[in-house]
Structure formats: structure tokens, C-alpha cells
Amino acid sequence: MLDVRPHIYLPVAHSVLRRLSPFLRAVDFALDWLLVDTGMTVYREGDLADSMFVMLSGRLRSVEKKTLIEEFGRGDVLGMMEVLQKKPRATTVLAVRFSQLARIPEGLLNFIKLQFPQVGFRLVQLLGQYYSSLHRRMPYPPATSLEGPGDPMNHIKNLHTIAVVPASAAVPLVPFTCELYHALSANLNVLRLSSQKVAAHLDSSVLEKYTLIIIPSKYRGRVPKLWECVRFRQADFRLMHWLNVQEDTCPLVIYECDYTATNWTRRCLRQADAILVVAMGNKKPHHQTLMRELLSTNQDGARTNKELVLLWPENTMSPSGTHEWLKDTYYSGHHHIRAPKRMFQWSSKKTRKSSREVYPVRDNEREIVDFYEKNVFWTVDFRSDFARIARILTGNAIGLALGGGGARGAAHVGVLRALRERGIPIDIIGGTSIGALVGAVYAGTPDAKVEKRTRRWFNWMTSLWRKVLDLTYAHSAIFTGAQMNKTLQDLFEENEIENLWIPYFCISTDITTSEMRVHRSGPLWAYCRASMSLAGYLPPLCDPLDGHLLLDGGYVNNLPADVMRSMGAKCVIAVDVGSSEETNLYNYGDSLSGTWVLMNRLNPWAKPLRILNMEEIQTRLAYVSCVRQLEIVKKAPYCSYFRPAIEPFKTLEFNKFDEILAIGYEYARKKIEELMQTESFHSLLVGDASHNRLHRQVSKNKVR
């Protein structure tokens, strides 16, 4: 109606303003509405903090000296703490995509506090929470030895829009977005939009870059050369407004791009908080370059975070060649998905030839959506690869952190068995020392083979002949490390970390630079070997990339739940199998005679005294920072701490694999049942069941 009778805008606006209170009119007068285009800055580091901002739409990024600090989405507030502290801006904030903000000047904030004093008290509370969070905040560990994608997942915070871009015409785009929609709907209300759906709701003209407006005949003489038509971007504005309404209605919107560089594709990329580039994993990257043409339609969106999704046939044993894809530095993360066969049943039905490639015809979108509504949307599989990527994208990932402890690490396998039987998925896995090995086996192996492969490696470690062959003059260590290398190479072959099905990391200690290393890419066997290299037993491993000397990660972080948290896990299950340090030691005063200690031990009638020897003292010194970190992990609210009763077993008792596994399994079964009773953990898997049924029944046509 407003399009037909635009003159009613003013009476309507006047009527609304008359009903506002004087206070709201004053606030409306003082507020500034800002439109920030992609790449433009809201404020720079060092600027005067004279106002705070509220995000209305779009996405902003806060950076400090080229380091990503945080990202902001719809509803977030930024710049408030600097205004309250009356300090200059600490970071630079720029727009990742076209954004709308409300600017609240400091004067307006003071006016509100005078009118409503309780606002001032609330701001003081927020300031106190901010400072307390600074004290609790753990610094993110140094980068891995081989720099790879997927730094701390700040880039997925508060996502509202996701654009899906095909890397080639072979990608089953509509089935992929339907699968993703199905997985995301487990936890929140999701809307899937395609060009066909938009054209059905509005009309096809909104998908054109310009709308032709016919000039009436009486004005044709007044506009020479333009009497036939005028190109005007009215349709684009209409489309943008409609999309903004959809984003306000639904917590998450999936934008399905076209196979060609259309105006709809450009609009999808401009609206996206994150972009999923979907490619076929079993085809070479140089054969899949369509996404470059599509991404070029929105050159301003270079800063938008892009995640690579590689689709593999369902029977694929292990991904390969991922490093070829990751040479493109603009990917901030990657995911491997075993695509169900149903996704490809429409691939060969209809195609259309263009000058360069064969593109699927989108006429069967209705048929595909009908199939998913009838056969898929009413089923649930929380352990599927699509469910995993959905939890990661929405910040609901479940992480498993496995600690170091030598042979006691067989308990990790028991925990994995208990998790599998209970149907609990693992979205991210990582560990230290033996935890790094068990985690790597799980990340790259179907569940049924984890125990078999891990048991085989434990059997190798019980071989006395291997140890004898590996002995050497103890210059750096008593073993050469060659036999350990061989067992790991036989176990993992030439696999790389980025080729694992599940996101994985392991921890090592860099004694060249005296820091912790987090490995998320590179040769799997080498970094597992580095993470398990006990000083004195094995020589440090020379990093394949930079030659730094790497030792056991247990010296700096024996249970890396904090690293798991920084990678985006909302709930972390941390399994501790480290040795328990005895604290009931004999108080011998301020001096100690070694001769007296020796005589006491030789005397059969003397009372046994617990006094540390030099080796034990050195070991405890090496693990001082690790013990402090462990105490922090135990108390962390995001962490579920598991500690099986494996104290009787020693670090090198690899021949007791089955016994230790059984203890870990029985302990984990009970702990998991307790964990499932907590609503916070249960909601990660099933979300709100009533919402799911209602959502799928009421909005049955929304996905279409």
C-alpha cells in the first residue's frame, strides 16, 4: 500500500511520534543511525571514546595490530567499557559486511543515568564483570608449528547468516543446504533461502540488478534518450529490505547462492556473516574454480570469514590432499563431510551447458525439498558429520581433551567406547602425549577400529627386543627414537592432521623458544611423536617445518582443555590419566644427609620415610606449570573432569592395556550418565524437542 500511496508516510510517522513519551523523543533525537559499508572503520585504535554502539544488522570485527580480538553481530554492544573508563579506543573496529549501527553519545548515556539511576548501577556491575573476566581469561597459546586455518573460533560468534557457495557444478548444492538446514534445526529456528524461493515470495524482478521503470508518454520529451526506460536500483533495495526482515525473524538464515554470478549470488555474499565454500574432496582443486568467479561478485567481502567444506563419498576411508586446498589463505577453517548417497541422486538428471561448464538446472529444487521433507527432516542423527558442523557453526561443539600418562592412556579408549555406546558425538578432539596418539586414532578411524589400532600400538610398545635395538649412548636420551618413529609411521602412515575426519590438535613443548606449541596441521606421526617425547628417554624431535626442538607436551599442558575451549568447544570432556603426586612427604627440617637416608632404607626395623630423590625433584619441577594448569581445568565451568582410578598402574606398563581400558570404560559409563542429567549438556544434543516438532510442523513450507 505504501508503494501505491507514498504520501501516507508522513501522517503515519507523525501519528507514531505523537504517541512517544518526551523521554523517548529525546533519546530518538540524540541517537545517530550509522550505515557502515564493507571495509570501512567504525573507530580506530587511539580515538577518543565519546560514544558506544549497538549493532542493528551486519557484522563488525575488532582488531589490534592485525590480531583478531572479537567479532560482533546483531544485538551486540561495542565500545561501552572504554566510554565508562574514559579511555581511548583500545582496538580498531571495521565492517566485515554492510552494517547498520545505533550510536549512543556519552551525553545521552549520562542523560539516561540521570533519569533512571538504576541504569548507572547496572553499568557499574557490567564494568566489574568485565574486569573479573580479564583476570579469568586465559591467553590463547602460540600458533602451531605449521600455521594453519582455524584459529580460536571468534569468527563464528553470534552468526546470523551463512552463505553457501559451490566450488564447482558437481557440488549438489540444494541437497547440501537441505542437509545443513536439517542439522541446524536441532537447536534453533533456521530459514533456508534460494533464488527460486525468493522469486516465489516476491517476484523474479527483485533478482535482477536493476528494475526497468517505464516513463509515461507525457514526460518522454523532457527526458531525451531515456524515454524508453530508466535503470533504477529499486528492486535491489526492496530485496535487501525483505531479507533484513527475514533475518530479524529467524535466528539463523542460510543463503543458497546460484551456480552463476547472478545478482542473487552477490546479494547472498553481501548479507553473509560467514561463507561456506563447498567442494568435492575427491576432485582436484584446480578443477573446481567456480567459487572464485562467484566470490568475485562481492569484492568488498574479502574480510568475510570463509570455511571450506569438502564432501567425500560415504565409503571414503580417509580424506586426502587437503593441504592443496588450504594453500588459499582466505579459509579460516575446514571440515570433512561424508556425504550420504541420497545427496547425489539428482546430479545426473538435468544439466545446462554454458560456454565453460555444465551447470545443474534448478528446476528440480521443489522435488529435492519434497524428498527431504518426507524422508529426512523427521529423522535425527546427532553423530553425523552434518550434525557436527552444525554444532561447530553455532558454538555448541562438544570437545574431548585427552591427557598424558603413558600406558594409563588405555583408559582413554575405554572412555571413547562408553561415549560411543551412549551416542555422544565428539566434534573436536585433542590431547597431550598418549592422549595425542589416542585422539589421532579416533579422529581418523571409524569407531569400530579405534580399539584394534590402539591395542596394536600398545603391543608394539611391550616388545623388549625393540627397546634393546633402540638403546644408545645416553648423550641426549637413552633411546635413539627410531623404533618409536617406526611404530607411529606404521600406525598413521603418511597421513596429515588436516586430513583427519574430526578437527584435531596435539600439544608439544618447544624447548628452542620455551613455549607451548599447538599442532593442527602437518605430518601426523611426527607431531604425535613430539608430543610423546619424554626428556631423557627419547631425543627431542626436530620440527619438520622450522627445525625447533620439540618435547613431550606434558611439561607445559598435560590436559589441554583450555586449548580445546579456545577452539570453539562449548562443553569440554577432559580425561586425566596423569600420575597423582604424593603430598604426604617427610619433614626433615633444613638439612638432609643422603647417608642417613640410605641407612634408614637399609634398616629393616626403621620406619619408612617418604623423601624425594633428585630424579623425582627434577620431574616435579618440570611439571610445575602443568599442575597449576590442571587445577584451573578442574574448576572451569565449561569442563567435565574425568579421572578414572588408574593410580596403581605405572607409566610404562603397556602390557596391561585391556585391564586399564576396562577401568576407564566402567568409570566413564557412570560419569556420562551423570553428565547427561545436566540440562546444559543434554541441550547441546537434542536442543528443545518441543521447538523441533513445532518448527517442522508449522514452518513445513519455510525450507522450500
pLDDT of residue 679: 76
pLDDT of residue 131: 60
Instruction: Map out the domains of the chain as residue ranges.
Output: 17-136, 158-392, 395-580+626-686
Q: Would you identify the CATH topology of the domain 395-580+626-686?
A: Cytosolic phospholipase A2 catalytic domain (3.40.1090)
Mean pLDDT is highest, among 79-83, 207-211, 253-257, for 253-257
Judge whether residue 533 has pLDDT over 50. yes
pLDDT of residue 300: 64
Closest CA to 394 of 527, 253, 268, 561: 253
Using DSSP bridges, classify how beta strands 305-313 and 190-193 pair: parallel, antiparallel or unpaired.
unpaired
Spot the catalytic one: 552, 562, 566, 576: 552
pLDDT-derived band at 232 (thresholds 50, 70, 90) equals very low
pLDDT of residue 481: 92
296 is an active site residue: no
pTM for the structure as a whole:
0.83
> If you average pLDDT over every residue of the chain, what do you get?
82
Arch. (CATH architecture) of 158-392 = 3-Layer(aba) Sandwich (3.40)
Using DSSP bridges, classify how beta strands 397-402 and 428-432 pair: parallel, antiparallel or unpaired.
parallel
pLDDT tens-digit readout, 379-434: 888 889 999 999 999 888 999 999 998 999 999 999 999 999 998 999 999 999 99
pLDDT-derived band at 615 (thresholds 50, 70, 90) equals low
Judge whether residue 9 has pLDDT over 50. yes
> The dihedral of CA 399, 405, 406, 408: what is its sign?
negative
pLDDT of residue 696: 45
Using DSSP bridges, classify how beta strands 569-575 and 639-642 pair: parallel, antiparallel or unpaired.
parallel
pLDDT of residue 157: 61
Q: Which of 216-225, 286-295, 530-539 has the lowest mean pLDDT?
A: 216-225
Judge whether residue 616 has pLDDT over 80. no
593 is an active site residue: no
> The dihedral of CA 182, 428, 454, 662: what is its sign?
negative
Integer Cα distance of 506 and 444 in angstroms: 14
User: CA-based angle 305:400:130, to the nearest 5?
Assistant: 60
Integer Cα distance of 681 and 683 in angstroms: 5
The predicted model gives 236-260 an average pLDDT of: 86
Spot the catalytic one: 51, 433, 521, 566: 433
Integer Cα distance of 628 and 644 in angstroms: 20
The predicted model gives 31-49 an average pLDDT of: 88
Distances in Å between the alpha carbon of 472 and those of 291, 345, 476, 537? 54, 60, 10, 10
Q: Which of 121-125, 353-357, 489-493 has the lowest mean pLDDT?
A: 353-357
pLDDT-derived band at 604 (thresholds 50, 70, 90) equals confident
Integer Cα distance of 138 and 123 in angstroms: 24
Integer Cα distance of 81 and 70 in angstroms: 14
pLDDT tens-digit readout, 419-476: 999 989 999 999 999 999 999 999 998 777 899 999 999 999 998 888 888 999 888 8
Integer Cα distance of 454 and 452 in angstroms: 6
Cα radius of gyration (the chain): 30
The more confidently predicted of residues 1 and 7 is: 7
pLDDT-derived band at 701 (thresholds 50, 70, 90) equals very low
pLDDT of residue 427: 94
pLDDT-derived band at 97 (thresholds 50, 70, 90) equals confident
The predicted model gives 475-486 an average pLDDT of: 92
The more confidently predicted of residues 368 and 6 is: 368
CATH 2.60.120.10 holds for 17-136: yes
Q: Which of 74-88, 179-193, 549-563 has the lowest mean pLDDT?
A: 74-88
